[in-house]
Homo-oligomer: A and B are copies of this chain.
Amino acid sequence: MDTTKLESLDRLINEFSKLPGVGKKTAGRYAYHIVTGSSEQAETFAKAILEAKNNIKFCSICGNFASGDTCPICDSRSHSTICVVKEPKDVLAIEKAHSYKGVYHVLHGTINPLANIAPKDIKIAELIARVAKGDTTEVILATSPDVEGEATAMYIASLVKAYGVKVTRIAQGLAAGTQLEFADEVTLTKALEDRKPI
């Protein structure tokens, strides 16, 4: 089969396979969807990519998505409490709960030696610079309770404590609505350790 003429398909498959978690097979399925779809659909898709890339900036203070230089959360809230998260979608998740009224700091990753992500590769220096200004009274470490999230939290805690700022970690325990019999050992251990008097 004359594959040289079909190289634009290979290029598209290659582009799709750069997306996180997408292998050649899945990329091929996506590319097939594009070439069998209408021209309007392909144009809308390409336009959405360019527009999102051009319109979406990151807040110069917290690193969250923003359309201007700073995000609406940094513009409107007290900066005394900073909640540290891994990604912008974590900000959205916490905002949906409507219980936190402080500002955020988006690390854009967690320390992960296996994936070659060192402290300098994520926005830890920017967080320390915010804390060093002296307006901060508490830093809440809200990275996920997995290996990378815990390591990142511990690393940041050691740095922030040097500024005399209160450092807290989000609580671990049983999730609302889950059944005790299905909880894993680590979660159960944490839930028992951190028991509260009622």
Task: Name A's B-contacting residues (CB within 8 A).
Answer: 1-2, 5-6, 8-9, 11-12, 14-15, 18-22, 26, 28-37, 39, 41-56, 65, 67-68, 71-73, 87-89, 91-92, 95, 108
Determine whether the beta carbon of B12 is less than 8 Å from that of A52: yes
Q: In the assembly, what is the distance between CA of A116 and CA of B161, in Å?
A: 61
User: A6 touching B53 by the CB < 8 A rule?
Assistant: no
Mostly, the A contact residues are helix
Residues of B within 8 A of A91 (CB): 1
Q: Can you name 27 A-B pairs with beta carbons within 8 Å? A: A1-B71, A1-B73, A5-B67, A5-B68, A6-B67, A8-B48, A8-B51, A8-B55, A8-B56, A9-B56, A12-B51, A12-B52, A15-B48, A15-B49, A20-B30, A21-B26, A32-B88, A32-B89, A34-B52, A34-B53, A35-B52, A36-B108, A37-B53, A39-B53, A39-B54, A42-B53, A46-B50
Interface contacts beyond A6-B67, A39-B54, A42-B50: sample of 14 additional A-B pairs, CB < 8 Å, sorted by A: A1-B71, A1-B73, A5-B68, A5-B72, A9-B52, A20-B29, A20-B30, A21-B29, A28-B89, A32-B88, A35-B56, A36-B108, A42-B53, A46-B46
Q: A2-B72, A9-B65, A72-B1 are known contacts. Are A50 and B56 too (CB-CB below 8 A)?
A: no
Interface core residue of A2, A6, A35, A53 (most chain B CB under 10 Å) = A53
Determine if A48 and B12 form an interchain contact, defined as CB atoms under 8 angstroms apart: yes
Taking CB atoms, residues of chain B closer than 8 Å to A56 are 6, 8-9, 35
A50 and chain B: residue at smallest CB distance: B46
A143 CB to nearest chain B CB (Å): 16
Are A15 and B32 in touch, CB under 8 angstroms? no
A35 and B65 in contact, given A30-B20, A50-B42, A52-B8 (Cβ under 8 angstroms): yes
